[in-house]
């Protein structure tokens, strides 16, 4: 395929034999909304193509009585979707980028990262505590979160609170909060609440000084077969340059630390005036031990696109041919450099203890 419109043009010529692009997704309401938004963007770009959504359940959707960090961190919400991709049952899969491991299985790549929505976390309060903040909740109030990252940071910041795992999709977690008396509040991603139209439930948005976010949080990733050039070109136009560079830096940081959902690792990224600023941190499980640093890198702006047609290596699982290679490498190097800085100061010990404790409990 020589250009982004070729797939649509071919489909038009074929008339009744128009190609159907099959899009895989998880079955949850949020996953469907996210997938619908990607499909709507593709339909607007390629009006001559048809899209069919194929929904399926993943391991992470089925095991609801165990904390995420206990199940095992690889491909928890992606494996079944990737199996369908491998069997050519779907052509692309839409994920929350934070669910995609930094090392993808062979044969797959992230062909598009859409413009990031808010990457922050929100506090949703039980109806009787509406108007409160985490700071003003009563002593020993129980706050629900399925994330070690959130629990570690918030325990450190708000020692008067207790944190307990809560599982299920967003609808389920909100129902548990509202209908049971177990939780005073729960922590959820702002982006998910916004996509579901539940902004009115946001009682407090956690800023980076209270709780940094997960790698890739707030962004959607489109996973495809790495050798499917047709689909790679089709979805590549969805790449948002700034989001891609921020997420390359974040994913490189996490990969180099060898982190995952079984250890508390968090980030905060800002792009401003050609500079990419990355803050990264690691915590012990109870938040008592922590380490964070900030580094910055200049993102080069080339006079012209310097990639040749043969250049197609992935960076942290991402293929982005329409973003200058030099900029991508600068972002990756920033993530690696920050990870090395933390490792040189003892981050490995914090993460190793956290991993062992998590495995033991």
Surface-to-core class of residue 254, CB atoms within 10 Å of its CB (0-12 exposed, 13-18 middle, 19+ buried): buried
Q: Which of 6, 36, 99, 121 is flagged as catalytic?
A: 99
CB count within 10 Å of CB 195 equals 22
In whole angstroms, what is the distance from residue 245 CA to residue 156 CA? 30
Q: How far is CA 295 from CA 5, 53, 94, 338, in A?
A: 40, 41, 31, 6
In whole angstroms, what is the distance from residue 191 CA to residue 219 CA? 8
- Give the per-residue SS3 of 214-238: CCCCCCEEEEEECCCHHHHHHHHCC
Residue 213 β-bridge partners:
267
99 is catalytic: yes
Q: With b meaning 16 or more CB within 10 Å and e meaning fewer, what string describes 37-63?
A: ebbebbeeebebbebeeeebebebbee
Tokens of 265: 């690792």
Surface-to-core class of residue 168, CB atoms within 10 Å of its CB (0-12 exposed, 13-18 middle, 19+ buried): middle
In whole angstroms, what is the distance from residue 210 CA to residue 40 CA? 35
Tokens of 178: 């509202």
The residues assigned a catalytic role are 99
């Amino acid at each position: 395929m020589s250009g982004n419109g070729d797939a649509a043009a071919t489909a038009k010529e074929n008339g009744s034999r128009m190609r159907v692009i099959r899009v895989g997704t998880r079955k949850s309401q949020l996953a469907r909304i996210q997938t619908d938004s990607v499909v709507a963007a593709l339909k607007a770009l390629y009006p001559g193509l048809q899209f069919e959504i194929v929904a399926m359940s993943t391991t992470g959707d089925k095991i609801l009585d165990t904390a995420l960090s206990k199940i095992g961190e690889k491909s928890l919400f992606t494996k079944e979707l990737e199996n369908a991709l491998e069997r050519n049952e779907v052509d692309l899969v839409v994920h929350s980028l934070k669910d995609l491991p930094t090392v993808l299985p062979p044969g797959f790549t992230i062909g598009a990262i859409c413009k990031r929505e808010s990457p922050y976390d929100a506090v949703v309060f039980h109806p009787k505590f509406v108007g409160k903040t985490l700071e003003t909740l009563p002593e020993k109030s129980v706050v629900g979160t399925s994330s070690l990252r959130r629990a570690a940071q918030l325990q450190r910041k708000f020692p008067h609170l207790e944190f307990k795992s809560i599982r299920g999709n967003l609808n389920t977690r909100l129902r548990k909060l509202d209908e049971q008396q177990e939780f005073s509040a729960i922590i959820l991603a702002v982006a998910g609440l916004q996509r579901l139209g539940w902004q009115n439930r946001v009682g407090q948005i956690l800023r980076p000084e209270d709780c940094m976010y997960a790698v890739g949080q707030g962004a959607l990733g489109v996973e495809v077969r790495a050798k499917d050039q047709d689909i790679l070109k089709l979805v590549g136009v969805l790449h948002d340059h700034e989001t891609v560079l921020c997420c390359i830096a974040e994913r490189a940081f996490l990969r180099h630390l060898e982190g995952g959902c079984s250890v508390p690792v968090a980030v905060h990224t800002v792009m401003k005036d050609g500079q990419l600023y990355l803050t990264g941190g690691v915590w012990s499980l109870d938040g008592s031990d922590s380490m964070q640093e900030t580094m910055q890198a200049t993102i080069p702006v080339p006079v012209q696109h310097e990639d040749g047609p043969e250049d197609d290596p992935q960076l942290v699982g991402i293929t982005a041919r329409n973003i200058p290679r030099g900029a991508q490498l600068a972002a990756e190097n920033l993530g690696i450099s920050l990870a090395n800085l933390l490792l040189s100061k003892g981050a490995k010990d914090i993460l190793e203890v956290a991993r062992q404790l998590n495995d033991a409990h």
